[in-house]
Copies of this chain bind each other. A is one copy, B any other.
Amino acid sequence: MTLYLQLASHYRQAIHKGVLPPGARMPSVRGLMGLHQVSMSTALQACRWLEAKGLLEARARAGYFVRADKTWALPPVSEPALVALHDEARYVGVHQKVSSVLARAQSRGVRVNLAGAQAAPELYPLERLRQSSQRVLRQRGDCLVTPPPPGGEPGLRSALARQALEQQIQLSPEEILITHGCTEALTLALRAVTQPGDVVAVESPTYYGLLQILESLSLRALEIPTSPHTGLSLPALQEAAVLTPGLKAVAVVPHLQNPLGAVMPDAAKQALLAWCEAQDLALIEDDSYSALFDGPAPLRAIKSFDRSGRVILCSSLHKTLAPGMRLGWLSGGRWQQRLEMLKYSQSRPNESLPQLAVADYFNAGHGSRHLRGMRARLVLQREHMAEALARHLPAESRLSVPNGGFNLWLELPEGLSSMALFGAALDEGIRLAPGAMFSNSMRFDRFLRIGCGHPFDEAVRAAVQTLGRLVQSCR
């Protein structure tokens, strides 16, 4: 993405978030040059782009101002009551619901996918990954016919340990276990710390994949109210825990939670960890998304505060680097040995080729540039989508627009069902992710997770328009 678009998208976001409210004065071209260390032509291009998008208007001799009539935005999703839900911990029964949604979507011709929690292929560095893979095949092709090393390829484990340092996590390469995606990491983590029938506290709403794992392991889920901004409610968890025998672990996505996009403040992470420590619970942290956060500094994983090996950190590269390579990893603290045993007995070490290729890619220093570009494109895609939703959906709708990642979380007006809407949209060739998938209850049937991974083109815009029409007709 060119520099002027990055700059424009920065201000576009500021306008949509109300940091620059309608009527506010945009920094001058000279001001932009100083603030962002860009050339005059870049600053001018950015302002003209924002003007062309209808967000700014030029006033003669006075500069650019935010237009009042064009800042399309829905109000934010309401905060849940952050007390326990008074649901009992329940065996999970989402598989039927989730797999019927997945199967229906797969069996139909989908023109526009608004459901995906990953980016379009063109946002990933295909050429460099292909080059790295080819180099590995040339130089170390014998990895195809020799058994892979236990635990993972040393080169990849070292690269991941170096990256973890940026989140202030101190890990030796040997403390990193390569897995088949984050899904296998989570499965192993849960197998390591629970027995069938045990209870695991999860965010509500939470990723349906986690619920499916709980279901397949005969575990019970305790759903904890979760803020779209600050994540899991510790008071609600504490209240629920008192009433719940058999609680063994808490599983959270502290950064850009799926589906909410919430980011836990550092103090909340530390408080959660301290409480898990006091209650002798395992804390399973899924950190797959934090590299997509648009903040000035990297987010600190809960694992970075962990002094006693209580956190099992699970992460992956299939959201941020290569959806087709299925590389995940975990670091299991006090359970590391048990996790290694479970990984070995469940699927043996991962094959070497993708590990060596990604290590080659990281060692060539491509990682952070790719992430910067991807984040910049995602900002834009989220903004476009948020604006389109505001244009086409009823004004009573509400929307969470997170500071990173792929997803928006849309609250539909009273009386609507996301499951009904899912079917109607599929008839129009549009795939949705109904909120009902993200809970063991039907609590979120009035919500949709909206994927923004695809460039916002005419087909996506038309799909949002169709969605608006369907919502109106379903009321």
List chain A positions with a Cβ less than 8 A from chain B: 95, 99, 102, 106, 118, 121, 124-126, 129-130, 133-134, 137, 141-148, 150, 179-181, 183-184, 187, 191, 195-196, 209, 212-213, 215-216, 218, 318, 322-326, 341-342, 344-348, 350-354
Residues of B within 8 A of A187 (CB): 345-347
| Given A126-B141, A145-B126; A326-B348 close (CB under 8 Å) | yes
Residue among A134, A196, A348 having the largest count of chain B Cβ atoms under 10 Å: A348
Give the distance to chain B from A416, nearest Cβ to Cβ, in Å: 29
Q: Given the complex, which residues of B lie within 8 Å of A124, measured CB to CB? A: 144-145
Q: Please pick, from B99, B141, B180, the residue contacting A347 in the complex, using a CB distance under 8 A.
A: B180
Q: How far is the CA of A325 from the CA of B179 in the complex (A)?
A: 15
* CB atoms of A347 and B347 under 8 A apart: yes
Is the beta-carbon distance between B354 and A99 smaller than 8 angstroms? no
| Shortest Cβ gap from A32 to chain B (Å) | 34
- Which residue on chain B has the smallest CB distance to residue A321? B145
Chain B residues whose C-beta falls within 8 Å of the C-beta of A125 in the assembled complex: 145
21 contacts between A and B (CB under 8 A): A95-B341, A102-B150, A124-B144, A124-B145, A126-B144, A130-B144, A133-B133, A143-B324, A145-B323, A148-B326, A183-B345, A183-B348, A184-B347, A191-B216, A196-B196, A209-B345, A216-B341, A216-B342, A326-B350, A326-B351, A353-B354
For the complex formed, measure the closest distance between the CB of A393 and the CB atoms of chain B, giving whole angstroms. Answer: 28
Shortest CB-to-CB span from A420 to chain B, Å, is 25
A106 touches B150 (CB 8 A): yes
Residues of chain B within 8 A of A195, CB atoms compared: 196, 218
Chain B residues positioned under 8 Å from A326 (CB to CB) = 148, 347-348, 350-351
* Across-interface contacts of A342 in B (CB, < 8 A): 216
Contact B146 A324 (CB under 8 A): yes
Tell me the complex Cα distance, A207–B140, Å. Answer: 30
A463 to chain B, nearest CB (A): 20
Chain B's closest residue to A327 (CB) is B351
Q: Which of A95, A124, A146, A209 has the most CB of B within 10 A?
A: A146
Given the interface pairs A323-B146, A351-B325, the reply to whether A346 lies near B184 with Cβ below 8 Å is yes
Give complex CA distance A191, B215 in Å: 12
CA gap between A448 and B108 in the complex, in Å: 56
Knowing that A145-B323, A187-B345, A216-B341 are A-B contacts, what are 4 other residue pairs whose CB atoms are under 8 Å apart, sorted by A's residue number? A180-B180, A213-B345, A326-B351, A353-B354
Closest 4 CB pairs of A and B: A124-B145, A212-B345, A180-B347, A184-B347
A95 to chain B, nearest CB (A): 6
Residues from chain B with a CB closer than 8 A to the CB of A181 are 347-348
Could you say which residues of chain B place their CB within 8 Å of the CB of A106?
150
Look across to chain B and name the residue whose beta carbon is closest to the beta carbon of A354: B351
Tell me the complex Cα distance, A324–B353, Å.
Answer: 8
Inter-chain contact A121/B145, CB cutoff 8 Å = yes
Q: How far is the CB of A379 from chain B (nearest CB, A)?
A: 20
Closest to A344 in B: B212
Question: Which residues of B have CB within 8 Å of A150?
Answer: 102, 106
List the B residue with the shortest CB-CB distance to A341.
B95
The answer to whether A144 touches B322 (Cβ under 8 A) is yes
Q: Are B145 and A215 in contact (CB under 8 A)?
A: no
Chain B min CB distance to A132 (Å): 10
CB contact under 8 A between A126 and B142, given known A183-B345, A183-B346, A216-B341: yes
Asked whether A324 and B183 contact (CB < 8 A) given A191-B216, A195-B196, A353-B354, the answer is no
Considering the complex, give the chain B residue whose CB is closest to the CB of A192: B216
Determine which of B99, B144, B184, B212 lies in contact with A324 in the assembled complex, contact meaning CB atoms within 8 Å.
Answer: B144
Is the CB–CB distance between A147 and B352 below 8 Å?
Answer: no
Contact A146 B134 (CB under 8 A): no
